[in-house]
Amino acid sequence: MRLLLDTHAFLWAAQEPSKLSPAARTAITDLGNELFVSAISSFEISTKSRLGKLPGYESVVETYPAIVTRLRAEDWPVSSAHARFAGRFEWQHRDPFDRILAAQAACDDLTLVTADRVFSTLTWVKTLW
């Protein structure tokens, strides 16, 4: 499987794996799966850390590249195609970070690893939790 980690899944995999569901933990550690972390997650973590909205995760900003490597994941860039798709689809949820993640999962045929039920309304986004 090709897995795109939602930001919270990345943070939990990095620092609190017990918060992951058993299925998510198994999928993330399965060497047969490919793991990706969106550039938008790096932006979200940096922004929320600066604003004081991620207590306990401040060190992730500085150690982000090492964590990605430790998880044997790859950075997944945000393209203009992702941005256009994210801006155009109808969805009541307005969070720009989530919109980009949904667009990346859909455009690039990735399964989004997320506990966030908001994605369940998007039938065209494959999720795993």
Look-up of token digits 């256009």: 84
**Mean pLDDT of the residues in the chain:** 96
Which residues neighbour 33 within 8 Å (Cβ) at sequence distance 6 or greater?
1, 2, 3, 27
Residues 99-111 have a mean pLDDT of 97
Query: pLDDT at position 91, please?
Result: 84
Residue 75 sits in a domain whose CATH number is 3.40.50.1010
Q: 90 or 102: which carries more pLDDT confidence?
A: 102
Q: Domain count of the chain?
A: 1
- The domain in which residue 73 lies consists of 2-128
Q: Which has the closest alpha carbon to 39: 1, 111, 96?
A: 96
CA 3 – CA 61 distance, rounded (Å): 22
CB of 12 closer than 8 Å to CB of 19? yes
CA 96 – CA 85 distance, rounded (Å): 12
Backbone φ and ψ of 81, nearest 5°: -65, -40
- List pLDDT tens digits, range 42-94: 999 999 999 999 998 989 999 999 999 999 999 999 999 999 999 998 888 88
